[in-house]
Amino acid sequence: DAMVIQNPRYQVTQFGKPVTLSCSQTLNHNVMYWYQQKSSQAPKLLFHYYDKDFNNEADTPDNFQSRRPNTSFCFLDIRSPGLGDAAMYLCATSRDRGRANIQYFGAGTRLSVL
Amino acid sequence: GQSLEQPSEVTAVEGAIVQINCTYQTSGFYGLSWYQQHDGGAPTFLSYNALDGLEETGRFSSFLSRSDSYGYLLLQELQMKDSASYFCSNGSSNTGKLIFGQGTTLQVKP
């Protein structure tokens, strides 16, 4: 089945130790998104790629970076995780910008920072 | 700017019908979509209204009135598994971004 896959499902890191989360998709969608979601809150968009065009949200901390080496893969790098970065990180795709209302989400990576 | 308002919690009994309302203020409107998220899970797309009217998908229906900046999600024949958070959202075809409301937690009781 075509889908969005995130690895790992659970990630534990130490304060200040860099961590990379990965996302792959078999839908061949042009747009890939990274969201941060904390308990009882809505997903918060960090950035998105339209093909290779990177779009950063104004309030996304510099501590968060992303790479999209090809259509299928996208990575979220947290350079120096702080305690406040503990959250669920969700990757999503949409076919193109015009279909942003219909997004397909991965199962998420739950990040713990010790 | 964009904002979407929805109730924080709704409780209903199994077999009943529940309606989750969403009002929005957006600088540009590109349709209203609804997502379901179970606790610990990922959001799942439910329904999308680009134009006014009702969209029906099985037990779930979604309605949009652009003149009233209002929409709702209707869940019929409620089941225990429908207990989840439901988000209304607005996507922009210009920016490719999706803005979420704060979510409504639905609790279905026996």
Residue B65 confidence class, pLDDT cut points 50, 70, 90: very high
How many whole angstroms separate alpha carbon B90 and alpha carbon B92? 7
Instruction: Give me the pLDDT at residue A98, please.
Output: 80
Average the pLDDT over B6-12 and give the result: 97
- Contact list in B for residue A92 (CB cut-off 8 A) is 43
Q: Which of B33, B94, B101 sits opposite A101 (nearest CB)?
A: B33
Mark the ranges of chain A whose per-residue pLDDT is less than 70.
1-2
| Nearest CB partner across the interface for B100, out of A43, A106, A107 | A43
In this predicted structure, the answer to whether residue B13 has a pLDDT above a threshold of 70 is: yes
Q: What does the pLDDT read at residue A99?
A: 84
C-beta separation of A1 from A100 below 8 A: no
Q: Supply the pLDDT for residue A2.
A: 62
Mean pLDDT of chain B: 93
* Chain B hits for A50, Cβ within 8 Å: 96
Question: What confidence category does residue B11 fall into, taking pLDDT thresholds of 50, 70 and 90?
Answer: very high
A41 close contact with B: CB closer than 8 A: yes
**DSSP, residue by residue, B14-50:** TT--EEEEEEEE-SS---EEEEEE-TTS--EEEEEES
Nearest chain A Cα distance for residue B107, angstroms: 14
Please report the pLDDT score of residue B1 as a whole number. Answer: 65
- Partner residue opposite B93 with nearest CB, options A55, A98, A105: A98
Best of A57, A101, A110 to substitute, by most chain B Cβ atoms within 10 angstroms, is: A101
Residue A1 pLDDT: 65
Distance CA A2, CA A27 (A): 6
Residue B91: list chain A partners with CB under 8 A.
94, 99-103
Q: Is the pLDDT of residue B106 over 70?
A: yes
Neighbours of A43 (CB within 10 A): 28
pLDDT given at position A61: 94
Subunit contact A90:B97, Cβ cutoff 8 A:
no
- pLDDT, residue B96, reads 77
Residues B43, A55: C-beta atoms closer than 8 Å:
no
Rg of chain A taking only CA atoms, in angstroms:
13
Q: What is the pLDDT of residues B26-62, one digit of tens each?
A: 777 788 999 999 998 999 999 999 999 999 989 999 9
